[in-house]
Amino acid sequence: MLHTVNKSPFTNNSLDSCLDCVGNGAAVLLIEDGVYGALKGSKVADKVKAAMGKVTIYALSADVKARGVADKMIDGIKMVDYAGFVELAAENDKVHSWL
């Protein structure tokens, strides 16, 4: 199952709720302002790192680069391009967009 989060974790609790509700082996893709959730050293970084034990976390590279945070990503976050996004959506049986 693929979860997408498109809101900044600093103004919205979507990422927080999402990480509480993911099952083992799920994929979480951060897009738009959601990519701020992958920032090193932020107040949500510990929770994100802990979640990486059971799920894979991806960030959309176009949105990361656009925001100038490419060199501030937590180690182990996987960068995907738009084709990778499509692949993730296709290979998972369902998608839940945390709005």
Q: Which of residues 14-33 bind another protein (CB under 8 A)?
A: 14, 17, 20-23
User: b or e along 23-36 (b: 16 or more beta carbons within 10 Å of the residue's beta carbon)?
Assistant: eeebbbbbbbbbbb
Cα Rg of the chain, angstroms: 12
Q: Are 28 and 57 a contacting pair, CB within 8 Å?
A: yes
Asked if 13 interacts with another protein (CB under 8 A), we say yes
Asked if 96 interacts with another protein (CB under 8 A), we say yes
Smaller CB separation from another protein, 13 or 66: 13
Asked if 68 interacts with another protein (CB under 8 A), we say no
> Total binding residues for another protein by CB under 8 A?
14
Per the DSSP assignment, residues forming a β-bridge with 94 are: none
* Site residues, another protein (CB under 8 A): 1, 13-14, 17, 20-23, 94-99
